[in-house]
Structure formats: structure tokens, C-alpha cells
């Protein structure tokens, strides 16, 4: 008798199907993360019509969907993610598949889109490393990514303007705050309601770039 082999199910990524998940589906957003940015925007008003915005760690693009609605067709939006992009949008929306750590090859791609010495009015980031379940390791990886984004901002963010970071914060993260203080007049730590209670992610709004 031939025994039929049972098909093994592939492990699926864990998706939280809470009220934000259903709201995102209903409103046509690609991820529930959009409601974190929506709350941050209501509180801090970082993005305005016609702005030039760069969104880092952008896939699956729900932040970009939200930002696009604010900047309208007169603004400019560039989204960067290491993951492949499957969106076709307007002439003022660009997406780059790139690792943020590979700055030397990323820089000319951004310069190709921006005019000569132009810079962004705001940079948003929702970047997240692959998590290991070890909160100390995950925090370390998240801080490394954010320091890279601060360096990106050194060149590409306008003076006096703002940058939004997401960080996994488990214990003291002075490695990151030290770098923020060098570059910005002040910063505010903020945890939107859409971040789950158990989650150790929070956002850091870096205000008024010094140089
Ligand atoms: C939480 S998701 C962002 C969700 C997105 N803000 C949205 O609203 O749809 C984090 C993203 O960071 C990206 N990421 C992680 N490491 C990266 C790296 N080194 N360079 C570029 N993107 C990276 C991941 O591929 C992932 O898509």
C-alpha cells in the first residue's frame, strides 16, 4: 500500500488581524502601519502639501499611500526598500529597491531624481530589521539601521526640517539618541495607539535639523 505523504504547510508570516488591519483593508491601505503615521501626522503635522518627502523602509507602501494624499501632484515622494516594488504611480512618485546600508550606490540614484543640490523637506522611516525574538539583539539591529538613516539625512534633509524614525526600544538606547542630539535641536519619543501594547516599537520625531 502506498501511503500518501501529508503536504506540509509553509509557515506563514504572522499577521495581526485587529481593528486596524480591517480598517486598512476597508480603506484600501496596504498595511495597518498607516494608522501609526496618521496619528503622528495629526499630532505633529510633519507633512504638508507640495513637500519633497523620502520614505525609508517603505514596503508594502501604506505610508506612501498616505503621504501621497497629502503632498498631492505638486510634491515629490521617493520610497526606498530592500524589497521589490510592485507599484506603478504618477510621475512625482518614485520607488527604489535598495539596501539603506549601501549608501554609495543609493546616493547617485537619489541625485538622479532630485534636482542638483535639492534636499527633502521631511524624511520618514518605518524601517525594521528581521526580528530574532531576542529583544536586545533586535534593538541593536534597529539602532544600526536608524543611525544609517541619520547619515542619509546629513546629506539629503534640509536644514531646520524634521525626520521620523521608528526604533525597537527595549533598554537604554543612548547609542541612537547621542547621534540624534548631534544633528537635531530636540526629539520626542511617541507611541501611536496602533502600536500593539506588547510591541517594543516606538517612533522618534527628530525636530529641526541643525546643519
Ligand atoms: C514595517 S515595514 C514598513 C511598512 C511600511 N511603512 C508601510 O507602511 O507599508 C519595514 C520595512 O523595512 C524594510 N527594510 C529592512 N531593512 C532594510 C534595509 N537595510 N534597507 C531598506 N529597507 C529595509 C523591510 O524590507 C520592510 O519592508
| pLDDT (average), residues 92-113 | 95
Q: Match 526604533 to its residue by C-alpha cell.
A: 167
Q: Known catalytic residue: 166?
A: yes
Residues 164, 189 contacting (CB under 8 angstroms): no
Active-site option among 166, 178, 182, 210: 166
Q: Is the CB of 199 under 6 A from ligand 1?
A: no
pTM of the model: 0.91
Rg (CA), the chain: 18
Q: Is the CB of 164 under 6 A from ligand 1?
A: no
Residues 40, 46 contacting (CB under 8 angstroms): yes
- Nine cell digits for residue 40: 503622528
Distance 37 CA to ligand 1 centre (A): 14
- Looking at the predicted structure, is the pLDDT value of residue 88 above 70? no
Kindly report, residue by residue over 160-170, the tens digit of the pLDDT.
999 999 999 98
Kindly report, residue by residue over 117-135, the tens digit of the pLDDT.
899 999 999 999 999 989 9
Residue 3's pLDDT is 47
Q: Which residues contact 195 (CB under 8 A, 6 or more apart)?
A: 36, 201, 202
- Looking at the predicted structure, is the pLDDT value of residue 115 above 70? yes
Topology classification of domain 28-209? Rossmann fold (3.40.50)
DSSP 9: P
Ligand 1 binding pocket mutation candidate from 69, 127, 130, 147 (most atoms within 8 A of CB):
127
DSSP 73: G
Domain boundaries, the chain: 28-209
Distance 97 CA to ligand 1 centre (A): 11
Amino acid at each position: 500500500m502506498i501511503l500518501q505523504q501529508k503536504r506540509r504547510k509553509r509557515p506563514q508570516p504572522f499577521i495581526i488581524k485587529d481593528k486596524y488591519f480591517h480598517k486598512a483593508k476597508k480603506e484600501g491601505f496596504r498595511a495597518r502601519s498607516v494608522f501609526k503615521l496618521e496619528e503622528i501626522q495629526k499630532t505633529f503635522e510633519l507633512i504638508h502639501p507640495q513637500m519633497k518627502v523620502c520614505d525609508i523602509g517603505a514596503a508594502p507602501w501604506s505610508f506612501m499611500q498616505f503621504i501621497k494624499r497629502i503632498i498631492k501632484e505638486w510634491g515629490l515622494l521617493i520610497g526606498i526598500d530592500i524589497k521589490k516594488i510592485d507599484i506603478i504611480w504618477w510621475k512625482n512618485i518614485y520607488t527604489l529597491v535598495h539596501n539603506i546600508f549601501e549608501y554609495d550606490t543609493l546616493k547617485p540614484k537619489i541625485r538622479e531624481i532630485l534636482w542638483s543640490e535639492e534636499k527633502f523637506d521631511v524624511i520618514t522611516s518605518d524601517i525594521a530589521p528581521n526580528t530574532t525574538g531576542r529583544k536586545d539583539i533586535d534593538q541593536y539591529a534597529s539602532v544600526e539601521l536608524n543611525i544609517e538613516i541619520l547619515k542619509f539625512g546629513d546629506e539629503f534633509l534640509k536644514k531646520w526640517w524634521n525626520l521620523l524614525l521608528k526604533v525597537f526600544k527595549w533598554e537604554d538606547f543612548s547609542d541612537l539618541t547621542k547621534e540624534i542630539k548631534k544633528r537635531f535641536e530636540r526629539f520626542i519619543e511617541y507611541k501611536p495607539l496602533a502600536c500593539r501594547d506588547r510591541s517594543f516599537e516606538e517612533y522618534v520625531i527628530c525636530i529641526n535639523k541643525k546643519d
